[in-house]
Structure 1
Amino acid sequence: MRQLRTGQFHGQTNQTVNMGGVTLTDTEYTQDKVDWHYHENAYFTFILQGNVLEGNKKEVYNCEAGSLLFHHWQEPHYNIKPPGFTRGFHVELAHDWFRHLDFDINHLTGSIHVLNPDLKILLYKIFRESKLTDITTELSVQTILLELLSKMHQDQQTALHGNPIWVIRLRELLHDNVSENLSLSELAHQLGIHPVHLSRDFPKYFHCRLGEYIRKLKVEKALSLLAQKNKSLTDITYECGFADQSHFARCFKAVNDVTPLAHRRVLFG
């Protein structure tokens, strides 16, 4: 089985940035199928445009724009690319980087399909930093990565203790109905619990309030749709369930630090 070295990915590499044990790679997927392989570093794969199927020993992920996977080093997997343009952003973390920061990577094992919108939004921020490459880029990237890994570890610890059925069902409801404006009473009714119970216990499992989480999901969906050149801001506004374009722009900037147009300009250069 082939091992890929730092900065090495199958496809056409558009940009590679190295900074203190962290390697950022912007790659266009050009091969229809990549056989089983593994990487020498732990890394994130973030799909910016298009889609790809990625399989490991346990499952297969259908990764569309906005999908985020984390791989422990030497975790074998394969890729299948459907017809069309696909672009991925990879963040590799060298062994020495973890040792230097005294972070135990063994908390995060195997391959992880990351669903938390907070983590995906942080990856978009790292992507934009990779296009700036000024004197503060390395500091910013290192800081964002530590925040991201800490939140991932927090999510893993919460999952280890087991989530109630209503939490699992609620996550599915919210992720599957991003464009719908569901009320607290509607959600509670579908889950079979009291609205007070839902509102009070939500932060325990999602680490933020319900309204904040829903807003992040809408912005996360908007980020993936901005990668489609044929989608206007008006199209994206209503597809994500925002009241109007002004509301969309305000929420997007509050969550993501930049305007939708600014993000799209970075995405397409």
Structure 2
Amino acid sequence: MNERKVGCECHRSPDLAAGEFYGDVVSRHASPQFVLSEIRHAHGRELPTHAHQAAYFSLLVEGRYAETYDGRRHEYDPLTVWWHRPGVVHHDEVGQDGGRFFNVELTQEGADTLAEAGPSRRDFHEQGTRVVWFTCRLLHELRHWQPCSTLVVENLVLEMTGCALRYPEQPVSPQPAWLGLVVQKLHDEPDRRHFTSALAREAGVHPVHLASVFRRIHRQTIGEYLRVLRVRQAANLLRRADMPLAQAAVMLGFADQAHFTRIFGDVVGMTPSAFRRLLRPRHTGCRIPNA
């Protein structure tokens, strides 16, 4: 993900209503509070400057994508989710090979529900966080719709909407320089087997102090933090490579395929096999189960 300051003087198109998109809608489900839409662009294109009437989350499933808003250009990789409030004017570019997207839009009723919960955050984009896994699970549910899916999706959307809330700011404890070195090591070597004592020795602090400060700053243990890093690495590997899951498990530092499957399922909400199928290219036919 890259971003840089730019200027844009493109013709402004009318605002798009909920469920309206540039691109082919492959599948859709609408409810009183939200609209789920899977969208496909068969080839690269530059879209007119526009805004959406509804607040929405968007997941880049496949391809390359860039958008410009508030004078800044953002370039997204697959498995990036972004959130926009209603009326944000943006200018989009789909990569030369096209792309696939999944959008979760809030209707007026859904927006009212969010407003009752509290003020929403400004526009943001994230990778490897809870909002990404929520969005992937919603796409999986849309593609495998069953009678119970309505309730499942309703709860997932409500949980995901909570990620758009702006919570009261809490005092942020400054991160010691030595802790930054520990975190960088975890990011550089997520597939290694780390020990708190060894990390503390390299940082020059006592293991008890490391464990305590790490939880205070990151609100989770070192092991939990590393688990999320491995799952994020696994998601990107499954997107790019078609290797046996047992081999992927060993490469990513899991004990075996069963351990990999259990941890991945705990974090993402589906098995690695289901996640891999979710990201594979689909046929272009338009299938709208519930418009």
Q: TM-score, length-normalised on structure 2?
A: 0.75
* CA displacement 1:67-124 (0-9 Å, x = unmatched): 1111111112222233334211111112321324653563312x21224622222221
Are positions 1:80 and 2:93 aligned together? yes
Q: 2:74 pairs with 39, 48, 61, which one?
A: 61
Q: Which residue of 2 aligns with 1:164?
A: 174
Letter in 2 for 1:137: S
Distance 1:251 1:104, change over 3 A: closer
* C-alpha deviation, 1:193, in angstroms: 5.9
Paired residue secondary structure (1:91): strand
Letter in 1 for 2:174: P
Paired residue secondary structure (1:84): strand
Distance 1:165 1:146, change over 3 A: same
Are positions 1:4 and 2:16 aligned together? yes
Distance 1:181 1:60 in 2: 38
Distance 1:117 1:97 in 2: 22
Q: 2:112 pairs with 69, 94, 99, which one?
A: 99
Distance 2:278 2:247 in 1: 20
Distance 1:18 1:87 in 2: 19
Are positions 1:108 and 2:121 aligned together? yes
Paired residue secondary structure (1:82): strand
Distance 1:85 1:231 in 2: 25
Distance 2:215 2:149 in 1: 32
Paired residue secondary structure (2:96): coil
Answer yes or no: is the 8 Å Cα contact 2:65–2:77 preserved in 1.
yes
Which structure is higher in helix share?
1
Q: Which residue of 2 aligns with 1:214?
A: 226
Distance 2:63 2:215 in 1: 33
Gaps of 5+ in 1: none
Letter in 1 for 2:38: D
Distance 2:73 2:148 in 1: 38
* CA displacement 1:128-179 (0-9 Å, x = unmatched): 121222222222222122223334537x545x64452449947666556544
Paired residue secondary structure (1:107): coil
Answer yes or no: is the 8 Å Cα contact 1:117–1:217 preserved in 2.
no
Task: Tell me the number of residue pairs that the alignment of Structure 1 and Structure 2 aligns.
Answer: 266
Answer yes or no: is the 8 Å Cα contact 2:175–2:217 preserved in 1.
no
Distance 1:166 1:23 in 2: 44
Distance 1:74 1:204 in 2: 38
CA RMSD of aligned residues (A): 3.2
Distance 1:99 1:178, change over 3 A: same
Q: Which residue of 1 aligns with 2:9?
A: none
Are positions 1:25 and 2:53 aligned together? no
Answer yes or no: is the 8 Å Cα contact 2:133–2:269 preserved in 1.
no
Distance 1:153 1:100, change over 3 A: closer
Distance 1:231 1:56 in 2: 38
Letter in 2 for 1:140: V
Distance 1:10 1:204 in 2: 45
* C-alpha deviation, 1:239, in angstroms: 5.1
Stretch of structure 1 that moved more, 82-91 or 14-23: 82-91
Answer yes or no: is the 8 Å Cα contact 1:11–1:31 preserved in 2.
no
Are positions 1:264 and 2:279 aligned together? no
Distance 1:61 1:177 in 2: 27
Q: 1:122 pairs with 134, 139, 164, which one?
A: 134
Question: Comparing both chains, which one has the higher relative contact order based on Cα–Cα distances under 8 Å and sequence gaps of 6 or more?
Answer: 2
Distance 2:201 2:30 in 1: 50
Distance 1:17 1:186 in 2: 51
Answer yes or no: is the 8 Å Cα contact 1:48–1:227 preserved in 2.
no
* CA displacement 1:239-266 (0-9 Å, x = unmatched): 5443443432232223334321133334
Q: 1:70 pairs with 70, 83, 89, which one?
A: 83
Paired residue secondary structure (2:50): strand
Rg bigger for which structure?
Answer: 2
* C-alpha deviation, 1:126, in angstroms: 1.4
Distance 2:210 2:71 in 1: 33
Answer yes or no: is the 8 Å Cα contact 2:57–2:81 preserved in 1.
yes
Stretch of structure 1 that moved more, 36-45 or 164-173: 164-173
Answer yes or no: is the 8 Å Cα contact 2:45–2:98 preserved in 1.
no
